[in-house]
Amino acid sequence: MFIFVLNAGSSTYKCSLFSKQALESHQPEEPLWRALLEWGQNAHAVIHSKGKRRELTISAEGDKAFEELLRDAWSGPDAVIPGPEAIEAAGHRVVHGGEKFVEPSLINRETIKAIEEMSVLAPLHNVENLKGIKASQQLFPQAKQVAVFDTAFHRNMPEEAVVYPIPYRWRKQKIRRYGFHGISHQYCTGKAEAMLGQQKTAKIITCHLGNGASLAAIHEGKSIDTTMGFTPLEGLMMGTRSGSVDPGVLLHLMKSYGMDADQLENMLLYESGLKGICGVEDMRDVIQNAARGDAKAKLAFDMYVHSVRKHIGAMAAVLGGIDALIFTGGIGENSPEIRQAVSEKIRFLEIAIDSEKNISCRPDEDIAKKDSKARLLVIHTREDWEIARQALSFCGRR
């Protein structure tokens, strides 16, 4: 039997298929079949199956496009499963689980309602996650549908890391730090332990640097603090999201410039971060433009590095030291420039980057110098594998 994994976002759906047998392996394996579906005027997908890469342009729209794509797994030229009925469970990434969901959960009417209610807290994400869940229910009605939450890994954070210093009555209204990217932080923690052993990874900082970005402080396998908060907007500077800004700035924009909540939301989510400073949101473009002498791109790069470094300092202080620092996500895995710049100024944490290893790095790899006290790992995050494993283990427990 097989496990289907869906990470449904607003512009892309990432789909993977694993055999149950593969998921028993300690080493994460490649999915039997995986596809990246990009929604545009015509949906377009890149499919990897049986060692081959194919592209597919899909004429149908919405759920029908999703169905047409998935049919490729059982009736395409490189089919890997006999039919949709071979899917035993579907694991779904859900970004915000609030206080209610701290473990993977079976998706039923009640779960859907609760996820819908939490959409106010993660409007960019939960709504899209739900669309994907509903499409998958239609396509695989026999499968157990399991939600795996990005907030769940942070469930053990102590109250002092959770509560915001605003009147305490708001804590009771569930206004608190939740933290996100938990599936990735959790996967990387497990992978680091496998690479170095538990003793050498008692105090880890995981840096998930993708379009969205967050750090987590992990003590003995548990997240004890993280940079994202009530929503995935707090903390580091990101591609188009601002990360933390003085709340006083927002008040000033409202009072003196007449900006309303929708305008502020649009600015903070889509018009800020790298894009807000230099007009491009992809770190590759930022680096290229900076190298060509674009001063704003150079500023955006420097601000990004400053933001990551500053938050690493905060996480290290919370942990009281650091055994390993982990880079992951599109930027963390692929940008030697960012890794070098961030690592250079945190030598006081007894981290010494090996610049040659950093340049030639192929994740998963330790790029610290031999005599570096703390290790520096670059890990290819495998949220799909983590979701599949959690979904399977949930089904096994029931």
Of positions 37, 331, 351, 379, contacts ligand ADP by CB under 6 A: 331
- Nearer to ligand ADP by C-beta: 2 or 149? 149
The yes or no reply on residue 340 touching ligand ADP (CB under 6 A) is no
Degrees (nearest 5) of the Cα angle 189, 150, 195? 10
Of positions 31, 179, 210, 235, contacts ligand ADP by CB under 6 A: 210
What track of x and - describes contact with ligand ADP for positions 253 through 292 (by CB under 6 A)? -----------------------------xxx--------
259: exposed, middle or buried (C-beta count within 10 Å: 0-12, 13-18, 19+)?
A: middle
Q: Smallest distance from the beta carbon of 282 to ligand ADP, in angstroms?
A: 4
Q: Smallest distance from the beta carbon of 333 to ligand ADP, in angstroms?
A: 7
- Nearer to ligand ADP by C-beta: 29 or 282? 282
d(CA 335, CA 351): 18
d(CA 332, CA 209): 5
In Å, how far are 64, 66, 143, 276, 359 from 136, measured between CA atoms? Answer: 11, 9, 9, 36, 41
Alpha helices in 140-271 (DSSP H): 159-162, 169-172, 182-196, 247-257, 261-270
d(CA 327, CA 376): 8
d(CA 148, CA 101): 9
For residue 119 the two structure tokens come to: 């959409």
Residue nearest ligand ADP (C-beta atom):
330
Which of these is catalytic: 63, 72, 150, 323? 150
The yes or no reply on residue 211 touching ligand ADP (CB under 6 A) is yes
Q: Smallest distance from the beta carbon of 298 to ligand ADP, in angstroms?
A: 15
Candidates 64-72, 166-174, 204-212, 243-251: pick the segment binding ligand ADP (CB under 6 A).
Answer: 204-212
For residue 248 the two structure tokens come to: 């006083």
Site residues (CB under 6 A) for ligand ADP, limited to 96-115? none
Q: Smallest distance from the beta carbon of 335 to ligand ADP, in angstroms?
A: 4
For residue 107 the two structure tokens come to: 């998706």
Of positions 212, 235, 243, 273, contacts ligand ADP by CB under 6 A: 212
- Paired sense of beta strands 203-209 and 2-8, if any: unpaired
The yes or no reply on residue 206 touching ligand ADP (CB under 6 A) is no
Q: Locate tokens 């889509």: which residue?
A: 270
What track of x and - describes contact with ligand ADP for positions 152 through 191 (by CB under 6 A)? ----------------------------------------
Residue 166 is given by DSSP the state S
Beta carbons within 8 Å of 82's beta carbon, 6+ residues apart: 74
Q: Locate tokens 């650091």: which residue?
A: 322
d(CA 146, CA 129): 12
Beta carbons within 8 Å of 264's beta carbon, 6+ residues apart: 250, 253, 254
Candidates 43-51, 55-63, 170-178, 326-334: pick the segment binding ligand ADP (CB under 6 A).
Answer: 326-334
Alpha helices in 33-151 (DSSP H): 62-75, 109-117, 126-139
- Nearer to ligand ADP by C-beta: 189 or 335? 335
Q: Is 150 a catalytic residue?
A: yes
Of positions 98, 190, 232, 329, contacts ligand ADP by CB under 6 A: 329
The yes or no reply on residue 151 touching ligand ADP (CB under 6 A) is no
Number of residues that bind ligand ADP (CB under 6 A): 12
The yes or no reply on residue 239 touching ligand ADP (CB under 6 A) is yes
The yes or no reply on residue 335 touching ligand ADP (CB under 6 A) is yes
- Find out whether 388 and 3 touch, Cβ atoms under 8 Å: yes
Q: Smallest distance from the beta carbon of 248 to ligand ADP, in angstroms?
A: 29
- Nearer to ligand ADP by C-beta: 182 or 239? 239
- Nearer to ligand ADP by C-beta: 97 or 212? 212
Which amino acid belongs to residue 179? G
Q: Smallest distance from the beta carbon of 381 to ligand ADP, in angstroms?
A: 7
Question: Sign of torsion, CA 327 15 129 10?
Answer: positive
Which residues are catalytic, by number? 150
The footprint of ligand ADP (CB under 6 A) covers 210-212, 239, 282-284, 329-331, 334-335
